[in-house]
């Protein structure tokens, strides 16, 4: 059964979407992977070739019980990668879900019928700890928290870790913290080096060895509508995400080849 990873941090601009797209693109080369865009800003959706103004049905309809998730999923240009797109209307779900039964478990229920279809399902979360993120954490087996290497990087980390703990206690006892991922690291600045040391000191266990460098190539990737794996596979950013994918596999969140599966 496909395992589910949520990429979450209530801070915006820390590399959640970039990480969701790239680990999915890396592991999609091996076996089928699904990205579910849970963010009303819909950055992963635009990046992977759908228009969030018009896409229908979308994750919104799946959460509202108006469409099956399987009807929402579309192929992408990336090998082995499928997308459940978000429309801008997903913003409304944050409010509308409040009155629905099982409001925290709608995504888990929507994903259940497709979990056999994909080897890995990656949930790209919005920059908040609201109901959409809670739905993602309740549906996931594990959560990966990207942390931008900058001043005050650890501020707010307590909040997301507390949310993970709350969801584990009340909704999803098997949820594990897969790891903290340092992103946008600049080896030339002391600050980046200090943040890395601080995160590794306070959270030694779950910090990934792979560190994602700050590179112009990664910031350009969305405007190309491609992952870096396709348009510059030997670049530092692509290599760093490939190394992360290997670590994910080591932590039990890899993708087996068809031969290995049978």
Taking the complex as a whole, the smallest distance from the CB of residue 51 to ligand ADP amounts, in Å, to 18
Binds Mg ion (CB under 5 A): choice among 16, 22, 106, 108: 16
* Residue 16 or 22 with smaller CB distance to Mg ion: 16
Mapping DSSP to helix (H, G, I), strand (E, B) and coil, where does residue 67 land?
coil
* Residue 3 or 16 with smaller CB distance to Mg ion: 16
Respond yes or no on whether the N-terminal peptide bond of residue 57 is cis (omega within 30° of 0).
yes
- Rounded CA-CA distance 170/33 in Å is 28
Taking the complex as a whole, the smallest distance from the CB of residue 27 to Mg ion amounts, in Å, to 19
Taking the complex as a whole, the smallest distance from the CB of residue 37 to Mg ion amounts, in Å, to 9
- Rounded CA-CA distance 80/257 in Å is 11
Name the residues that contact ligand ADP, by CB under 6 A.
12-18, 43, 127, 183-184, 212, 214-215, 218-219, 222, 237
* Residue 8 or 30 with smaller CB distance to Mg ion: 8
Binds Mg ion (CB under 5 A): choice among 9, 10, 17, 226: 17
Within 8 A by CB and 6+ apart from 169, the residues are none
* Residue 170 or 209 with smaller CB distance to ligand ADP: 209
- Rounded CA-CA distance 240/218 in Å is 11
Residues 129-158 that bind Mg ion (CB under 5 A): none
Among the candidate windows 9-17, 47-55, 57-65, 131-139, which touches Mg ion by CB under 5 A? 9-17
Among the candidate windows 38-46, 114-122, 151-159, 220-228, which touches Mg ion by CB under 5 A? 38-46
Place of tokens 């290997």: 246
Run of H or E including 108: helix 106-111
Closest residue to Mg ion, judged by C-beta, is 17
Helix-helix angle 16-28:216-224, to 10 degrees: 70
Q: Are 14 and 148 in contact (CB under 8 A)?
A: yes
| Residue 106: C-alpha distances to residues 63, 129, 175, 194 (Å) | 6, 16, 16, 40
Q: Which does 222 bind (CB under 5 to 8 A by kind): ligand ADP, Mg ion, none?
A: ligand ADP
Taking the complex as a whole, the smallest distance from the CB of residue 39 to Mg ion amounts, in Å, to 5
* Residue 157 or 218 with smaller CB distance to ligand ADP: 218
Within 8 A by CB and 6+ apart from 173, the residues are none
Contact positions vs Mg ion (CB under 5 A)? 16-17, 43
């Amino acid at each position: 059964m496909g395992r589910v990873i949520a990429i979450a941090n209530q801070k915006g601009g820390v590399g959640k979407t970039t990480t969701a797209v790239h680990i999915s693109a890396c592991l999609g080369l091996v076996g089928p992977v699904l990205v579910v865009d849970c963010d009303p800003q819909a950055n992963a959706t635009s990046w992977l070739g759908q228009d969030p103004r018009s896409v229908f049905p979308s994750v919104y309809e799946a959460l509202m019980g108006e469409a099956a998730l399987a009807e929402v999923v579309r192929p992408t240009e990336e090998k082995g990668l499928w997308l459940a797109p978000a429309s801008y209307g997903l913003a409304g779900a944050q409010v509308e879900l409040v009155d629905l039964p099982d409001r925290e478990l709608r995504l888990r229920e929507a994903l259940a019928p497709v979990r056999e279809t994909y080897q890995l399902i990656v949930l790209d979360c919005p920059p908040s700890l609201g109901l959409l993120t809670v739905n993602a954490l309740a549906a996931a087996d594990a959560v990966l928290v990207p942390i931008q290497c900058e001043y005050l990087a650890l501020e707010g980390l307590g909040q997301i870790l507390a949310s993970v703990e709350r969801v584990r206690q009340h909704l999803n006892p098997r949820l594990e913290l897969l790891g903290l991922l340092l992103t946008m690291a600049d080896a030339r600045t002391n600050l980046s080096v200090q943040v890395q040391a601080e995160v590794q000191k306070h959270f030694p266990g779950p910090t990934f060895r792979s560190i994602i460098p700050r590179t112009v190539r990664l910031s350009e990737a969305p405007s190309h509508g491609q992952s870096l794996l396709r348009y510059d596979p030997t670049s530092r950013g692509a290599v760093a995400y490939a190394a992360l994918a290997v670590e994910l596999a080591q932590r039990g969140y890899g993708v087996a080849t068809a031969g290995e599966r049978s």
